[in-house]
Chain A
Amino acid sequence: MKTSRIWTLGASAALLAATLATPALSQETIRIIGHRSPPNEYYTGAMQKALPEGRVSVELMPIDKEMELASITMSSKSDAIDVLYLTDSSLKRFAANGWLEPLDDLWAKYKEEYKLDDFPPAIMEAVSYDGHIYSMPVLTNTELFFYRKDLFDEAGIAAPKTMDDYQNAAAKLDSGRMSGTIMSLKPVDAALNETHWYLNAVGDGWFDENWRPIFNQEAGVKAITRMKEMSEFAPRGFTSHANDESTINLQQGLAAMGLQWFTRAASMDDPQKSRVVGKIDWVAPPGGGARVANDGFAISAFSSGDKEEMFRMLAEASSVDSMIKGAEFSMPPRLSVLQNEELSEKYRWYPAARAALEDGKPFPALPDFNDVGDIVTRHVLRAVTGEVEVKAALDQAAKETEELLASRGYYKN
C-alpha cells in the first residue's frame, strides 16, 4: 500500500513538473486556422511550403468550430491565432470588431512583386471593410446548378433557365427512389445559402437601402412559398441535410438536380466517391442570385508575430502559379487565371461557373449578417415544414431582425 502511494505521488509530481515545463506556445510558429475543404487543404499547404519547414502550423476544422475558436480567442485579444480563414460575411464582422490587421500598407508595398492588381474590383470589395483591405483573396466559390444530363435528355427536357423550368423538371424527374431535387436546409449555413438563392431569384432580396428587412413582403413570401413547394421533391431528411448529404445524394444517383457548390463539382467525376461519373452537367443556377462567396485569409490584429512575413506567405500561396494549380478545387479570384482558356478544357464545370459568377450575388454586406441568418433560417424552416404559415414566419423573422439590427445601432437617424 505504502509503496504504491509513494509511486502515485511521485508519478503525479513528475507529471506536474513535466507539464509545467512545457513552453506555453513557441512564438516561432505561425498558427493558421481554417475551414477544412479541398481548396483550403491545397492553399494552406502552399502557405506551409512558402516558409521553412516547421514554421507554419495549420489546423483545419468545420467552419462552425473555426468561428467559435476564432471568436473566443480574438474577443479576449489573445495572440493564440495568427492567420485565419474567413468568408466574406465573417470578414466584415471580424473587421468591424477591430480584430483584424488592415493590410493596406503591405498591399501597396508588395503590389508589384506579387501582381496584386490582378484581382477584380468585386473581389477587392469582398475582402475590404470600411475602405481598408483585410484579407488575401484566395478562393472564389459559386453555387452551381447540378443536373443529371442523362435523365434530362431521356425525358427530353433542357437545362432549366428559370425557377419555373426548375420546378417542372424536378416534378417530372421525381419518382420513387429518385428525388426531384436536392435541398440543403440544415441550419444555419446550408439553409442560409438556399434561402439566399430563393429570395434573390424569386423575391426581391433581403433588405432595402436602409437595412430594413423586405423579405417578408409579397415577393419574399412568394419566394419561400416556392421553396416550400419545391420541398415536395426533396429527398427525405432534407431539413437536416448540409452540403455533405446533398453531395452524397447526387453522387449515389438518388437525386436528379439541385443547388450545390463549385467545390463539390470535381468529386462528381471521381469514381472513388461517385456512381454518376460523367453523367452530371452544370449550368448557372436558374433565376440567378445564388450565392457567390469570396473567401480569404486574414491576419489577426493581436498576433505578436512578424506580420510582414505572414503577408508574404499569403501572397506566395495566392500567386498566379499557385492558383493555376488550385483551380481544380475552387475558382481562382485572379483575373489572369480565371480567363485562362485551358481551365475550361480541363474542368467541365468552368463555363457554368463563369456564368454563375456573373449573375450570382454575395451575401448582403453588413457585419451582422450571420446573426440575421440565424434568425431568418430558423423561421424559414418553420414555414417550410408547415409549423407556421409562410407570411407569419417571415413577419416574425423580420421583427426579430429589426430588433437585432436596432440593438447594434443600425437605425440611428
Chain B
Amino acid sequence: MSMRSQGRRRGYLLFAALCIFTFVNLIPLLWAVLPSFKYPADAFTIPPTLIFEPTLEYHREVWFENDFFRYLINSLIVSAGTVLISVPCGTLAAYALSRIPRRNSGPILNVLFTIRMFPHMLLAIPFFVMGTFLNMIDSYPLLILALVAINQPFTIWLLHGFFLDIPRDLDEAAAIDGCNSWQAFRIVILPLARPGMTVAALFSLLMSYNEFLFALVLTGVETKTLPVAIASFGGEDISLWSISAAGAVGIMLPIVVIMLFLQRNLVSGLTAGAVKG
C-alpha cells in the first residue's frame, strides 16, 4: 500500500512540476502577446502593467494596411512547394543510400553534412548572382529551390535512419517475386515509410516557413514571405514595437495551428524510428 501511495504522490509531484515549468516557459510568449494590445506608453512600464486600455489598432494595421494576407499566401506557397519537392527527392535518395553498402553510403552522408555546416549567408550571395543571371529574382521557384537544397541533407539523414530500420528482407522478398527496384520500393517499402516522411515533411515545413535570410535576398514585392515582412516593422519609431508584437502574433498563428494538428504525427513518426541511424 505504501509503495502505491508513494508512487501516486510522485505522480502528482511530477504533474505539478510539469505545470509550473510549462507555465514559466511560456511567459515570454504571453508577455509578447500583451504589447500587441497596448499603446506603447503602457507597454514599457515599471512595475509591468497588466491592467490597461486594450486596443486592436495594431492588429488591424498589420493585417489590413500591410498586405499581411498576401505575405501569408506567399509563405504558404513557398512552404508547400518546399515540402512537396524536398520530401519525395529526399525519400528516394535516403532509400537508395540505406540499401547500398555502408562503406559507400558513409562518405556520401558525411559530405552532405559538411555542406550543411557552411554558413548560409555565404551561400546567399552566389544564389543572388545566379537568380539575377536567370532573371528569377522575386519568383517562387528560385526561393523554393534554394530552400529545398539547404533542407535536403537533413531530410536525407533523417529518412536514411528510418529506412535502415526497415528490414532488407522485405526488398529481397519482393525481388524474388519479380519486382524491379522501383516496384519493390513503391509497393513494399513506401507504405512503411509514411511516418518517417511525415516527420521529414514537418521539419521541412518549419524550416521553410521560418527561413529569413534567403527569403530576404531572393524575394521582392511579389513574393515576400512573412518573416521578411515582419522584419520590416523593426525600426525608428517605438510605436512600431506594438506593431511588431501584432505582427509576431500574426506570423505565429498559422504555423501554430498547423502544428497543433500535426504534432501527434511528429511524435509517433519519431517514435517509429526516424532517429535510429
Pick from A5, A26, A272 the residue with the most CB of B within 10 Å.
A272
CB distance from A333 to the nearest CB of B (A): 18
Q: Contacts A31-B221, A72-B128 known; A24 to B41 CB distance under 8 Å? A: no
Whether A72 lies near B77 (C-beta < 8 A) is: no
Whether B137 lies near A25 (C-beta < 8 A) is: yes
Whether B84 lies near A38 (C-beta < 8 A) is: no
Is the C-beta of B7 less than 8 angstroms from some C-beta in chain A? no
Whether A73 lies near B234 (C-beta < 8 A) is: no
Whether B46 lies near A177 (C-beta < 8 A) is: yes
Q: Contacts A25-B138, A247-B238 known; A69 to B39 CB distance under 8 Å? A: no
Whether B233 lies near A22 (C-beta < 8 A) is: no
* Chain A residues whose CB sits within 8 angstroms of the CB of B81 once the complex forms: 12, 15-16, 19
* Chain B residues whose CB sits within 8 angstroms of the CB of A1 once the complex forms: 190-191
Whether A59 lies near B124 (C-beta < 8 A) is: no
Is the C-beta of B110 less than 8 angstroms from some C-beta in chain A? no
A274 to B232, CA, bound (A): 23
Whether A22 lies near B139 (C-beta < 8 A) is: yes
Which residues of chain B in 127-143 are interfacial with respect to chain A, using CB atoms and an 8 Å cutoff? 128-129, 132, 135-141
Is the C-beta of B231 less than 8 angstroms from some C-beta in chain A? yes
Is the C-beta of A61 less than 8 angstroms from some C-beta in chain B? yes
Which residues of chain A in 84-119 are interfacial with respect to chain B, using CB atoms and an 8 Å cutoff? none
Whether A271 lies near B132 (C-beta < 8 A) is: no
A391 to B40, CA, bound (A): 41
Is the C-beta of B44 less than 8 angstroms from some C-beta in chain A? yes
Whether A12 lies near B129 (C-beta < 8 A) is: no
Whether B39 lies near A78 (C-beta < 8 A) is: no
Whether A76 lies near B240 (C-beta < 8 A) is: no
Select which of B45, B88, B132, B141 is within 8 A of A77 by beta carbon: B132
A77 to B141, CA, bound (A): 21
Whether B137 lies near A61 (C-beta < 8 A) is: no
CB distance from B223 to the nearest CB of A (A): 8
Whether A78 lies near B128 (C-beta < 8 A) is: yes
Is the C-beta of B106 less than 8 angstroms from some C-beta in chain A? no
* Chain B residues whose CB sits within 8 angstroms of the CB of A275 once the complex forms: 41, 45
Select which of B39, B46, B77, B128 is within 8 A of A73 by beta carbon: B128
Whether B84 lies near A24 (C-beta < 8 A) is: no
Whether A248 lies near B238 (C-beta < 8 A) is: yes
Nearest CB in chain A to that of B135: its residue: A24
CB distance from A310 to the nearest CB of B (A): 16
Nearest CB in chain B to that of A249: its residue: B44
Nearest CB in chain B to that of A266: its residue: B237
A151 to B264, CA, bound (A): 59
A248 to B141, CA, bound (A): 42
With A1-B190, A62-B232, A251-B238 given, name 20 new contacts (CB 8 A): A19-B139, A24-B139, A35-B235, A36-B233, A37-B235, A37-B237, A38-B236, A57-B221, A62-B231, A65-B231, A68-B216, A68-B217, A72-B124, A73-B128, A78-B137, A80-B137, A80-B220, A177-B46, A244-B241, A272-B41
